[in-house]
Amino acid sequence: MSRTVTRKASAKINLGLDVTGIREDGYHLLETVFQTVSIYDVVTVSVTKKSGIILTCDDPDVPCTEKNIAWKAAQCFCDAAGISEGVEIQIQKQIPMQAGMGGGSTDGAAVLLALQELTGAPLTMEQLNRIAVGLGADVPFFLMGGTAYAAGIGEDLEQLPAFETKHMVIAKGTSGVSTAEAYHRMDTLENPVHPQVQQLRSVLKKGASVPEVAALCGNLFEAAIDLPEITNIRSVMLEQGAWCSVMTGSGAAVYGIFESEETAKQACQALKKIVPFACCCETIA
């Protein structure tokens, strides 16, 4: 009989995101403040007597092969823990793809945590983090969640006091941005204005108000990603009274932070008329 665990895999936004350099191996050095939000994939993981890894997803655009981070996570966990049993993974997608919301990374982290629970926690947190770093820059954060500052290639994490707001809207158009293309465009920028990530980190530590945090939100990639849909989404959010409207990750989703539930809902309704994905949500610890 198989053993099964189901986990909610939350999406993230970047309250602040800056690129500070490039390592010799080509990886970009980041400074960012991550924040998990109440938009989830649902990941169900089973340990079975059948050998190998089986991955299924309700979204036909998601690759169900060893290219998927969730598949890689299962393989890396089994290798590290010396597990020979089979693993079955089912993913129900709610997080849009190519959105900069960490959909693939959060699924990978959910698989690691589910397998840790199913197999009696054979790995230390240090071992889990080592696997997570190898899977992708966002995966270590999703083992932690909440509000966190990250530096380097995402492996240097610092938990911050929870940033709490219930009045947020996230929207995404039909266009997507590949991470590789986003970094390529960003590398061509000349004298860009860098977001104030360190100041944002500082005020969050001091328990700043939502408007104070919103005023410091920013993303260097916005200067590199020239998509009319992003511009339109930001314009609608600001017209509807958003305290800030910022692209997350390397794109192409945009989040807005609002003063009230009413203004957030009004913005969401306006956005649903022009883009396929618009959702009211809140931050989660």
One domain, residues 49 and 139? yes
Catalytic residue (one of 12, 72, 93, 172): 12
pLDDT at 2: 63
Residue 205 is a catalytic residue: no
CATH number of the domain that residue 262 is part of: 3.30.70.890
Whether residue 176 has pLDDT greater than 80: no
One domain, residues 58 and 97? yes
One domain, residues 151 and 174? no
Instruction: State both tokens at 240.
Output: 């509807």
Q: Which of 138-147, 150-159, 181-190, 245-254 has the lowest mean pLDDT?
A: 181-190
One domain, residues 20 and 153? yes
Whether residue 74 has pLDDT greater than 80: yes
One domain, residues 227 and 195? yes
One domain, residues 222 and 186? yes
Catalytic residue (one of 18, 41, 107, 138): 138
Q: At what angle do helices 103-118 and 69-81 cross, to 10 degrees?
A: 30
Share the mean pLDDT of the chain: 94
One domain, residues 43 and 129? yes
One domain, residues 125 and 185? no
Q: How many domains does the chain have?
A: 2
Whether residue 1 has pLDDT greater than 50: no
Q: Which of 3-7, 135-139, 158-162, 240-244 has the lowest mean pLDDT?
A: 135-139
pLDDT in tens, 243-284: 999 999 988 999 999 999 999 999 999 999 999 999 999 999
pLDDT in tens, 105-124: 999 999 999 999 999 999 99
What band does 77 get if pLDDT is binned at 50, 70 and 90?
A: very high
Enclosing domain of residue 258: 168-281
One domain, residues 105 and 237? no
* 8: β partners: 42
Among the candidates 159, 192, 223, a domain finishes at 159
**Nearest Cα residue to 242 out of 262, 221, 223, 263:** 263
Query: Is the pTM higher than 0.85?
Result: yes
What band does 183 get if pLDDT is binned at 50, 70 and 90?
A: confident
Residue 12 is a catalytic residue: yes
One domain, residues 94 and 227? no
Q: Among the residues of 30-120, which ranges form H helices? A: 69-81, 103-118
One domain, residues 186 and 104? no
Among the candidates 102, 127, 159, a domain finishes at 159
Q: At what angle do helices 125-135 and 69-81 cross, to 10 degrees?
A: 140
One domain, residues 80 and 221? no
CATH number of the domain that residue 36 is part of: 3.30.230.10
Among the candidates 101, 131, 159, a domain finishes at 159
